[in-house]
Every structure is written in C-alpha cells, then in structure tokens.
C-alpha cells in the first residue's frame, strides 16, 4: 500500500467508472497472500520484492500487471516470477518492457500538460495539422 502505486491505484479503482470493482489491497505482510491472489481476476503487483508472486499463486486466466522493478544479479526483474506466471495468466506484463514505457510516456504527457497550464497556452489550438 505504497503512496506511489498502491494507494493511488486503489483509490482509482474504487472511483467511477470502476466503482463496481471489488478492490483488495494487500501488502508484504498480508496473511495468506496466495488466498487473495488466487481470487484476483486482475492482479497488479507493486511491492519491490523480486519473485514474490509465483505461478501457483495466480488464478487461471488472470491478467497480471507487474509494476515491480528490481535488480537481481545485474538483471532487471519484477515482483512476479514471469516464466511461472505466464503459464497461468491470460495476459501478463514483462519486466523490463512492460509498464515502464507507459510510465515514461505518462510522465512526458503530464510534464507537457503542466507546461501548458503554467503558460496559459492552448497548445492543441495553435498546432498546424498537416495530413500526409
């Protein structure tokens, strides 16, 4: 339940238009963690502990989003054991190359938005669009 991913994501999932989702927030010390993860249709993992989620902890057909990024023996790995999890998950994000590029793109988008707000500039109105 970190303030970087866990809490903001939980609040987002509890709000409209997602307010019909049953959202369960777990943390590293949650008892019977696998009981919770096995029930999840969508499992989002952002703990910072490499290999925390093993394949046998994942519901068949679940969507697994691994936000964790850890360095182990010089390699980047997630919080999910990818090779095990991909046998169970219908969709899974790899580490590296999963949510990282999306994070970078959203950071750039938000930076441009902040710049526009500071300048009071309607950026989109002043672009000359050319179709090729």
Q: Is 25 exposed, middle or buried (0-12, 13-18, 19+ CB in 10 A)?
A: middle
Q: Give Cα 129 to chain centroid, integer Å.
A: 33
**In the chain, where are the structural domains located?**
6-96
Pair of tokens at residue 55: 């394949």
Rounded distance between C-alpha atoms, residue 80 and residue 86, angstroms: 10
Sign of CA dihedral 7, 8, 9, 14: positive
CATH second-level architecture of 6-96? Answer: 3-Layer(aba) Sandwich (3.40)
pTM, to two decimals: 0.80
Phi, psi angle pair for 60, to nearest 5° = -60, 125
Of 31, 83, 77, 76, the closest CA to residue 56 belongs to 83
Convert 87-102 to b/e letters by CB count within 10 Å (16 or more is b). ebbeebbebeebbeee
pLDDT digit string (tens) for the chain, length 132 residues: 677 888 888 888 888 776 777 889 998 899 999 999 999 999 999 999 999 999 999 999 999 999 999 999 999 999 999 999 999 999 999 999 999 888 889 899 989 889 888 887 765 666 666 665
């Amino acid at each position: 339940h970190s303030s970087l991913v866990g809490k903001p994501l939980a609040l987002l999932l509890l709000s409209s238009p997602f307010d019909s989702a049953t959202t369960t927030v777990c943390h590293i010390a949650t008892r019977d963690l696998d009981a919770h993860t096995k029930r999840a249709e969508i499992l989002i993992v952002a703990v910072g502990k490499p290999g925390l989620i093993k394949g046998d902890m994942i519901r068949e057909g679940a969507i697994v989003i691994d936000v964790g990024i850890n360095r182990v023996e010089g390699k980047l790995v997630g919080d999910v054991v990818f090779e095990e999890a991909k046998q169970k998950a219908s969709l899974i994000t790899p580490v590296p190359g999963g949510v990282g590029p999306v994070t970078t793109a959203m950071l750039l988008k938000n930076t441009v938005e902040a710049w526009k707000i500071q300048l009071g500039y309607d950026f989109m109105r002043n672009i000359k669009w050319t179709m090729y």
